[in-house]
Amino acid sequence: MKILLGMTIEELKQFAAEIGEKPFRGKQIFVWLSRGAVSFDEMTDLPKSLREKLKECAQIGGCRAVQVQEDTSDGTRKILFEAAGGADEAGVPADTFEGVFMKYSYGNSLCVSSQVGCRMGCRFCASALGGFVRNLTAGEMLGQVLEAERVTGEKVGHIVIMGMGEPFDNYENVAQFLRLLHDENGRNMSWRNMTVSTSGIIPKIRQFAEDFPQVNLAISLHRLTDEGRSSIMPVNRKYPVGQLLEAARDYAERTHRRVTFEYALIEGENDKDEDVQLMIRRLGGMLCHVNLIPLNKVEETGYSGSSRKRAREIAETLEKSGIPATVRRQLGSEIDGACGQLRRRQQTNRPCLKNADGL
Ligand code: SAH
C-alpha cells in the first residue's frame, strides 16, 4: 500500500504513471490531499474507476485527532493525534503525538510535532521523559495541519515546529513538509509564516540557512555557560554554546533575518542577574530577539518556572541594553502548556527504542 499524503506533485505524477494513469491525475490528487480530503470518494473529479483502483493500492495516511482539549479563555486547542491506521493487527496501538492550535491577532498558528518522543534529553522537557520512538514523516506533519483545521473548523495560516521532537534530528522529512506547505498548488503558505525551532544542532542550522533562508529560525538557548547549558541540555556537550552563537551570527548574516532565542526561565537556575548580564554580553549587537517564557512545570523534572513579574523585569533589562525581548504570551494555561504532557498522561507503557540523552 502506497501512502500518498506527504508526496510531492512530481512523486504523485510518477505514482499515477506506475498504476497506468495519466500523470495529471497525480496533480489532481495532490490538490485534494492539500485540501484535507480523508477519503478517495471525496475526489470527485477523478473517474470512479480510478477511485476504486486507489482504494485497492493506496492509503491517504497522515493522522487523526483522538483527543482535543480547549482553553475557552483564549481558544487554544491542544490536540492529541494518532498515526493513520490506528492499532496494528497485533493490537499494538498507533503512535501518538501532539499539536497546539493557537489564535493570534495575525491569524491561527499550529505548533507541530516532528518526532514521536525526542533524543535530546533536555532535563526540563516532558517530551524527553519517554525517550525516542521514531521520526514523523512529512505526511504525518502535514496531516497535523489538515486535521487541526478539520477539528477546529478554522484555517491554519502559520506553523511553528515546536511540538514534540527535534526537527533537525529529522531534517529531510521536515524539509519535505515545509516544501509541501509552500507549494502553490497546495497550501501556498509563505515561507515567512513558518518557524523551525532547534535545540542547537549546528551543522543543520548551517544547512537550513542555505536551504530555507526565508523560514524563521528559533534556537532554544536557555543558558549561556557551557557548564550550565550542558547540565540541562545534553546537546550542548556536542555543540557548545560559543559555536552555537557563532552559527546564529552566521545565519543572520547569510539570511539578513533575526534569529529568535527561546529562553525558558527556570527559577534559581537561569533567571539570576548574572545570567541576564551574561546574555547582554554575549547577544549584544546580534540581529536577534529573545523570547522569554516562564517554564511550564513538568512534575517529574523537579524544575519550576520563574514568576511572570521576574520575566517582565528581565525583558526590560534586556531591552534597555538594546536586545529586543518579549515575554511570550502564555496560551492554553488551562490545559497544560508544556509539550509532551498530554501524550504522557494518556500513555501507558509504550514501546520505546532509545532512552533520552541521545547524543
Ligand atoms: N526540539 C526543539 C523544538 C521543540 S521544543 C527545540 O528544542 O527547540 C519547543 C520549545 O519549548 C523549546 O524552546 C524547548 O526548550 C521549550 N520547552 C520544553 N519544555 C518546556 C517547558 N516545560 N516549559 C517551557 N518551555 C519548554
Residue 125 near ligand 1, beta carbon < 6 Å:
yes
**Radius of gyration for the alpha carbons in the chain, expressed in angstroms and rounded:** 21
153 with 50, same domain: the answer is: no
User: Could you identify the atom of ligand 1 that is nearest to the CA of residue 222?
Assistant: 15
In a domain, 6, yes or no: yes
CB atoms within 10 A of CB 8: 16
User: Could you identify the atom of ligand 1 that is nearest to the CA of residue 111?
Assistant: 9
Tens place of pLDDT for every residue, the chain, 359 residues?
Answer: 899 999 999 999 999 999 999 999 999 999 999 999 999 999 999 999 999 999 999 999 999 999 999 988 889 999 999 999 877 888 888 999 999 999 999 999 999 999 999 999 999 998 888 899 999 999 999 999 999 999 999 999 999 999 999 999 999 999 999 999 999 999 999 999 999 999 999 999 999 999 999 999 999 999 999 999 999 999 999 999 999 999 999 999 999 999 999 999 999 999 999 999 999 999 999 999 999 999 988 888 889 999 999 999 999 999 999 999 999 876 555 555 545 555 655 543 333 333 333 33
In a domain, 355, yes or no: no
245 with 292, same domain: the answer is: yes
Ligand 1 centroid from CA 179, angstroms: 24
76 phi and psi, to 5 degrees? -65, 135
End-to-end CA distance of the chain: 34
**Domains contained in the chain, number:** 2
Catalytic annotation, residues: 98, 339
Residue 262 near ligand 1, beta carbon < 6 Å:
yes
Beta carbons within 8 Å of 130's beta carbon, 6+ residues apart:
117, 340, 343, 344, 347, 350, 352, 356
220 with 329, same domain: the answer is: yes
- Which amino acid, one-letter code, is at 282? R
Domain residues for 23? Answer: 2-59
At which residue does the C-alpha cell 509532551 appear?
Answer: 340
219 with 132, same domain: the answer is: yes
Residue 266 near ligand 1, beta carbon < 6 Å:
no
Three-state secondary structure along 132-158?
A: EEEECCHHHHHHHHHHHHHHHCCCCCE
d(CA 208, CA 243): 16
CA atoms within 13 A on the CB side of 43: 26
Question: CA-based angle 77:81:85, to the nearest 5?
Answer: 150
198 with 177, same domain: the answer is: yes
Residue 354's pLDDT is: 33
* CATH classification of the domain holding 213: 3.20.20.70
Q: What is the pTM of this model?
A: 0.93
Domain boundary among 59, 75, 93: 59
